[in-house]
Amino acid sequence: MTRTVGDATYVGTRTLRVEDLRLLTGTGTYVDDVIRPGMLHACFVRSPMARARILGIDVSEASQLDGVHAVFVAQDLNPGVREQWYTLNGPDDPDTPRPPLAEGEVRFVGDPVAMVVADDRYIAEDAAELVVVDYDPLPPVVDYATALDSTESVHADRPGNLVGQLGGRPMADLEPVFENAPHVVSQTVYQQSHGPVPMETRGIVAEWAAAGGEMTIWAATQSPHEVRSFCARLLGIAEHRVRVVMRDTGGGFGQKVLPQREDMCVMLAATKLPAALKWIEDRQEHLLAAGQARHEHGEARMAFDDDGRILAATLDHVQDAGAYPTPSPVQSGVAVGMLFPGPYRIPEGTFSSRFVFSNTSGRVAYRGPWQYESMARETLLDTAARQLCLDPVELRRRNMLSRDELPTANFNGMPYDHISPRETFEQALKMLDYEAFRREQARAREQGRYLGVGTCTYVEPTAGATPFHATEGATIRIEPSGKVNVYVAGGSCGNSLETTVVQLTADALGAAIEDVSTVQGDTAVTPYGAGTGGSRSGPMTAGAIARTAGELRERILAIAAHKLEVPAEEVEFIRGRATSKRSGGAGLTLAEIADIAYYQVHALPPGVPAGLEASGRYHTPHLMIWANATHVCTCEVDVVTGEVTLLRYIVSEDCGPMINPSVVEGQIFGGTVQGIGGALYEHLAYDEDGNPVSTTFMDYLLPTATEVPVIEVGHVETPSPGPGGYKGVGEGGAIGSAPAVVNAVADALAPFGVRISRLPLTPSSIVGLLEEARARQAVTR
Amino acid sequence: MKPAPFTYHAPAGGDEAVGLLAELGEEAKAIAGGQSLVPMLALRLAAFGHLVDLRRLDELRGIERRGDGTVWIGAGTTQATVQRSDEVRAAVPLLARATPLIGHFQIRSRGTVGGSLAHADSAAEYPAVALTLDAELEALSPRGRRTIPAERFLTGMWSTALAEDELLTGVNFPVWKGRCGFAVEEFARRSGDFAIAGATVALRVDGDGRLDRCAIGLFGLGATAIRARGTEAALIGSDPAEADAEEIVRSATEGLDSVPSDLHGSAPYRTRVGAAMVTRAWRRAVQEALHG
Amino acid sequence: MTDVDTVDIHVRVNGTSRRASVPPRLTLADFLRVNCGLTGTHLGCEHGVCGACTVLLDGEAVRACLVFAVQAHDAEVTTVEGLAGPDGELSTVQAAFREHHGLQCGFCTPGFVVSVTAFLAENPKPTDEEIREALTGNLCRCTGYQGIVNAVRAAADTAGTTVTEGPA
């Protein structure tokens, strides 16, 4: 029924993107490009304090400003909330608080306190400055790492600031192994708060039609259907009364998977206004309040035998949830511990994870949200190699899983299969010529130059089958002219989903690619779907398209066979043309077949329905589809200024067969550079009073073209058991890169005895590490 | 992120411009390229009731070799124009070399020589260059014109000797003749970012290969760009090839007492980087003076 | 909206004369997006760092968020919408971005395309280092700059080929 990869005409090729023509000419439609009649504009009044009681809010002066329509405070909007939960977590999962506007107390700098609605954003900002809020400051809980011991509570009903905790078997179980092991290595790495920071900030336009009780929303989102479900629940209206439209979204990386508090405010306020309401977050708001990620630490431990074989591993992990996480971090955060064993043979081990409130911006999802498992494990392995006087590559070779050991499961019971960690590891090292680099490094050290190499190998669950994510639908309509439209839920934020869907559909049908177009991102016309996230779009849409196109292809073949008067098995249908060897060159185009299906219904073979349209839904039988990769990075560290220059960057990955190599590589490149940013540049920093100090792009440093090396990609191909053998590839780049960079810097500075425990590795922090190491050695001497 | 409202003025000449500045007082701010001012307005870190736009003041633009051995550059001349200028490259190499370090090329399209000097950020390149080369700044006010040496022009972080109603109209950069070497070195987190610290060196050797002119500037290391005058004086008459670079650096960076400190670097870190930049700039300038 | 007077301006945008009466604080970016309906110029930071709003002002690449519309009076502005041919044919730079996967979400793309257009006009035969340096005024979060750098190299080489055609 479905065609195999071997039949592919378009899949596997570097098909140019269909999105590009509009995006290159400035004719895309992002949420800020949406204009509605009489549209009004919102601006939030945000807390300047990390924690304070709200004693009063005076909106009188702001309300009187010309051009201001309304100023809403918590009492105006919050009571409108009917139900508030995310489909991913379900209504019964213990959730964290999420009031639309701050009520009674502000809990981080940037907490929305009031919303001004005006004719334009300029006036809205003028009015926001006129809202007077009387704050009574309270002592903030700024540092999540000490929050569990604080007598102050971010949320009064959560004394001790613990959001939740999860773990494996008791740590005490492992103590005998650690006590008896010849070698035990442990370390704690504190990773700094940073985040997705898409180039397009958050934004939403909500238009309420009171008479019909209908809401139309244009949103920057990765999941239009989730925005719809969420809005329907929030307002207590039927799901089909809400329509959510997104055409182009300017990057998501996890930040845009779920609606947040400001989106709730806009939805609630729109029902009280005579026209559409637009809120476009500005960059400062984004860096204050769109959320943070990756802010965590953990004590990682491994026990080794005398041959450097790992006997056991544990991770005691703590993660910052901020004041208002989206969603509660517990369910997704447990992946850090579950994946901590990575691609290594580790007989036993365990983890514990705690999630902690603080008076800072809330935790959000960020591309490979469990990335800390790799950071903790891979940096520990390098430290262990130094302590055991083994080359880090040799240490890994002794412990890393290879294909012939599969299937297997890690010590947390995660079942691994269809992966190739050892193969990617060796491929990447070969691409580098590891031994040659070590020689070059030795020569450089003699000249007082400090080069380093770092690796990171990880395994990654993609296309996970949570109830929310386990199915995906596709509708294919072949129009009477033979032109094809394929409808999928969408949510593409640069994932090239339009292009890959068109490739998959053209191949699955046998149509010519220029005849295939796709419609995505409009809940009114597309099948329900969870959107982009969790590296799911490749396998899941491939499954949905295969199912739907397979049914249509059978009808196409039946119609052609009937018309050509040959058996259906003898019909070839390639590039939109049906032929048969027996029909002597006569053939039918897809247009002619469609014409029969729509206008010559009497000429259809028996049992074939009229029209050429089908819908199908794929339900994955796989709990997850594993992908894996190795990142290898070399760098030079200037020990005077502390500057790190990346020299070579190599990724060897296994995402199964590639639908479009350019798209795969683009995902890897982008993720990798986000990880480089996380290791070296990006920091959503707070001072000790809880004031954020990186709220502009002058201080929150995204890597630019000169900070990024050429990234070389190697592919290993192990087909997955899923549709087409595909695997997800969206997140991996952002998982493997930061640990590889940190290891490379640590390797470069190894002659100084530097120990890395805090990120990011800024030039000044590297100088600090060098000075610390020098002081330590002076004491030892 | 939208600026607060203001009234806009686009005077046709310098006298009209300074007349407006005088009349409107502290409510008014002159805007040239706006590359530093507009972000502050957009972030509402600053607000002015009136902006006096200098865009129509053609007399503020141009690059001219003057008979007195200087190159005059109009305050309204963009950094992009300076970067393209063969005259500047030949006659004021230090200025030419510092220019590409300012922001990004899209910033230099609008940013002006006078704007950068009048904004007087201590980490900016142009104030350090003006100070190093002993440039003279021309100012116009309703009281007439005056000339201010760079040394007296820079009075503090974001503050200058300009009166509220005074406008920077041009800068005279002395042309150094003879066997000279010029270098600017800075360290920034990313290309185009403000420097964490930087150094400028200008020097000249006489026929015997001895230094007869020497200027060392530091930026990002105090409230304003700074000259290491003590170090310079000690070097005059010496053979730069024999000079102890470490000693020069030590003396140039000792006693710095208002080094800024922020997310990107503590004061000691900035001082360390500044020292490294002095070393690099010194070596390059000496190399150029001695070997071309 | 306020008691501040509006100012009459005349700007030629992509070859079309536009007259408008605007509040002085209106940025050129908002003028292009709202008053002219040219939404290809994107706002990514509004403080002059990200480069998404880059347009050509009298032929030079500038941040449209750091210019007030009143300052563009009597000027010539070219936005990303003005770069393709009249029949929609992509410019050399645009075509190279497509060919080399130089964009993903597309939000930063107009700023890159406009910046690169200006850069190559001034420096038609850049070194790889000059290309990377020139790109630092634009931030991209999707591509890791790999496809963008390759696209600029290719655009320079393509344009270079055209220029050097004929007797050497």
Domain ranges of chain B: 7-53, 58-174, 179-291
Query: B264 to chain A, minimum CA–CA distance in Å?
Result: 7
Closest CA to B117 of B141, B135, B100, B105: B135
Chain A environment of C109 (Cβ under 8 Å): 23-24
Domain-located, residue C149: yes
Chain B environment of A640 (Cβ under 8 Å): 272-273, 276
Whether A203 contacts A281, CB under 8 Å: yes
Q: Which of C57, C82, C107 is the last residue of a domain?
A: C82
Q: How far apart are CA A455 and CA A432, in angstroms?
A: 11
Q: Does CATH number 3.90.1170.50 belong to domain A34-138+200-250+256-289?
A: yes
Element (H, E) at A556: helix A537-564
Task: List CB contacts of A709: < 8 A, sequence separation 6 or more.
Answer: A646, A647, A648, A649
- CATH tag, B58-174: 3.30.465.10
Q: What is residue A581's predicted lDDT score, i.e. its pLDDT?
A: 84
CB burial class (10 A; 0-12, 13-18, 19+) of residue A661? middle
Whether A536 contacts A464, CB under 8 Å: yes
CB burial class (10 A; 0-12, 13-18, 19+) of residue A621? exposed
Question: Pairing state of beta strands B136-141 and B70-74?
Answer: unpaired
Residues in chain A: 781
pLDDT, tens digit, for every residue of B226-244?
999 999 999 999 999 999 9
Q: How far apart are CA A617 and CA A605, in angstroms?
A: 26
Q: What is residue C161's predicted lDDT score, i.e. its pLDDT?
A: 63
Whether A754 contacts A770, CB under 8 Å: yes
Q: What is residue A778's predicted lDDT score, i.e. its pLDDT?
A: 85
Q: Where are the domains of chain A?
A: 5-28+471-619, 34-138+200-250+256-289, 373-464+622-780
- Looking at the DSSP bridge assignments, the partners of residue A409 are A415
> C71 with C97, same domain?
no
> ipTM of this predicted complex?
0.97
Q: What is residue A7's predicted lDDT score, i.e. its pLDDT?
A: 64
- Looking at the DSSP bridge assignments, the partners of residue A478 are A484
Chain A environment of C42 (Cβ under 8 Å): 30, 32, 199-200, 250
- CATH tag, A373-464+622-780: 3.30.365.10
Return the number of CB contacts < 8 Å for A and B: 65
Q: What is residue A6's predicted lDDT score, i.e. its pLDDT?
A: 46
Over range B208-219, report the average pLDDT: 96
Q: Which of C62, C82, C102 is the last residue of a domain?
A: C82
* B180, amino acid identity: C
User: In CATH terms, are B58-174 and B179-291 the same topology?
Assistant: no
Contact partners for chain C, using 3 or more CB pairs closer than 8 A, are A, B
CA distances in angstroms from A610 to A464, A566, A597, B91, listed in the order given: 37, 20, 5, 82
Cβ count within 10 A of residue B179: 17
Q: What is the CA radius of gyration of chain B?
A: 19
Q: How far apart are the first and last CA of chain C?
A: 62
Given an 8 Å threshold on Cβ–Cβ distance, is B264 in contact with A685? no
Whether B205 contacts B250, CB under 8 Å: no
User: Sheet containing A516-520: which strands, arranged edge to edge?
Assistant: A516-520, A484-488, A471-478, A613-619
Q: What are φ and ψ of residue A191, in 5° steps? A: -95, 140
* C162, pLDDT greater than 60: no
* C125, pLDDT greater than 70: yes
Query: How does the average pLDDT of chain C come out, rounded?
Result: 94
* B211, pLDDT greater than 80: yes
- Looking at the DSSP bridge assignments, the partners of residue A166 are A353
Q: What are φ and ψ of residue A81, in 5° steps? A: -75, 120
> C66 with C111, same domain?
no
Class of domain B7-53: alpha beta
Look up residue A307 and give its two tokens.
């041959």
Query: C93 to chain B, minimum CA–CA distance in Å?
Result: 18
User: In CATH terms, are A34-138+200-250+256-289 and A373-464+622-780 the same topology?
Assistant: no
Q: How far apart are CA A486 and CA A615, in angstroms?
A: 10
Over range A622-630, report the average pLDDT: 97
Number of H helices, E strands in chain B: 12, 14
Domain range enclosing C39: 7-82
Over range A171-176, report the average pLDDT: 96
Query: How does the average pLDDT of chain A come out, rounded?
Result: 96
Q: Which pLDDT band, with edges at 50, 70 and 90, does A781 fall under?
A: low
Closest CA to B70 of B143, B154, B147: B147
DSSP characters over A461-489: EES---TTTSEEEEEEEE-TTS-EEEEE-
Q: How far apart are CA C138 and CA C123, in angstroms?
A: 17
Over range A111-130, report the average pLDDT: 98
User: Percent of chain A having pLDDT more than 90?
Assistant: 97
Q: Using CB atoms and an 8 Å cut-off, which of residues 84-113 of chain C contact chain A?
A: 84, 88, 90, 94, 97-99, 101, 103-110, 113
Domain-located, residue C87: no
Closest CA to A467 of A24, A89, A126, A11: A89
Q: What CATH number did the domain enclosing C128 receive? A: 1.10.150.120
Over range A582-595, report the average pLDDT: 90
User: What SS3 class is residue A668?
Assistant: helix
pLDDT, tens digit, for every residue of B103-151?
999 999 999 999 999 999 999 999 999 999 999 999 999 999 999 999 9
CA distances in angstroms from C28 to A31, A276, B78, C65, C110, listed in the order given: 20, 25, 19, 6, 15
pLDDT, tens digit, for every residue of A194-233?
999 999 999 999 999 999 999 999 999 999 999 999 999 9
* A248, amino acid identity: D
Given an 8 Å threshold on Cβ–Cβ distance, is A494 in contact with C104? yes
Domain-located, residue C14: yes
- The listed CATH number (3.30.450.70, 3.30.390.50, 3.40.190.10, 3.30.420.40) that belongs to domain B179-291: 3.30.390.50
Angle at which helices C146-163 and A661-680 cross, to 10°: 120
Chain A environment of C47 (Cβ under 8 Å): 283, 696-698
Over range C25-49, report the average pLDDT: 98
Given an 8 Å threshold on Cβ–Cβ distance, is B189 in contact with A282? no
CA dihedral B269, B275, B277, B281 (to 10 degrees): 170
Q: How far apart are CA A59 and CA B271, in angstroms?
A: 48
pLDDT, tens digit, for every residue of A467-517?
999 999 999 999 999 999 999 999 999 999 999 999 999 999 999 999 999
Domain-located, residue C168: no
Over range A76-94, report the average pLDDT: 96
Q: Cα B280 from chain centroid?
A: 19
Q: What CATH number did the domain enclosing C26 receive? A: 3.10.20.30
Return the number of CB contacts < 8 Å for B and C: 93
Which of B4, B192, B196 has its CB closest to that of A126? Answer: B4
* A497, amino acid identity: L
pLDDT, tens digit, for every residue of C40-86?
999 999 999 999 999 999 999 999 999 999 999 999 999 999 999 98
Q: How far apart are CA A125 and CA B235, in angstroms?
A: 56
Given an 8 Å threshold on Cβ–Cβ distance, is A704 in contact with B263? no
Q: Which pLDDT band, with edges at 50, 70 and 90, does C163 fall under?
A: very low
- Looking at the DSSP bridge assignments, the partners of residue A303 are A184, A312
Q: Which of C82, C111, C138 is the last residue of a domain?
A: C82
Given an 8 Å threshold on Cβ–Cβ distance, is C137 in contact with B7? no
Over range A80-108, report the average pLDDT: 96
> C16 with C71, same domain?
yes
Cβ count within 10 A of residue B284: 17
Instruction: Please check whether residue A201 touches B, CB under 8 A.
Output: no
Q: What is residue A582's predicted lDDT score, i.e. its pLDDT?
A: 83
Closest CA to C98 of A673, A27, A662, A498: A662
User: What SS3 class is residue B91?
Assistant: helix
Query: A380 to chain C, minimum CA–CA distance in Å?
Result: 27
* B58, pLDDT greater than 70: yes
Whether A294 contacts A194, CB under 8 Å: yes
Q: How far apart are CA A295 and CA A278, in angstroms?
A: 31
DSSP characters over C39-103: TTS--S-SSSSS-TTEEEETTEEEEGGGSBGGGGTT-EEE-GGGTS-TT-PPPHHHHHHHHTT--
pLDDT, tens digit, for every residue of C10-22?
999 999 999 999 9
Q: How far apart are CA B198 and CA A638, in angstroms?
A: 16
What DSSP designation does A684 have? -
Over range A324-348, report the average pLDDT: 95
* A5, pLDDT greater than 50: no
Omega before A407 within 30 of 0, i.e. cis: yes
CA dihedral A516, A522, A527, A528 (to 10 degrees): 140
Look up the pTM and report it.
0.97
User: What SS3 class is residue A125?
Assistant: helix
Question: Pairing state of beta strands A577-580 and A571-574?
Answer: antiparallel
What DSSP designation does A69 have? E
Domain-located, residue C29: yes
Number of domains in chain C: 2
User: What SS3 class is residue B207?
Assistant: coil
Which CATH architecture does the domain made up of A5-28+471-619 adopt? 2-Layer Sandwich (3.30)
Given an 8 Å threshold on Cβ–Cβ distance, is C139 in contact with A248? no
Alpha helices, DSSP H only, in B92-218?
Answer: 93-98, 105-108, 113-119, 125-132, 150-153
DSSP characters over A233-254: HHHT--GGGEEEE-S-----TT
Whether C73 contacts C115, CB under 8 Å: no
> C72 with C107, same domain?
no
Query: How does the average pLDDT of chain B come out, rounded?
Result: 96
Whether A654 contacts A343, CB under 8 Å: no
Q: What is residue C168's predicted lDDT score, i.e. its pLDDT?
A: 37
Q: What are φ and ψ of residue C81, in 5° steps? A: -70, -20
Q: What is residue A586's predicted lDDT score, i.e. its pLDDT?
A: 82
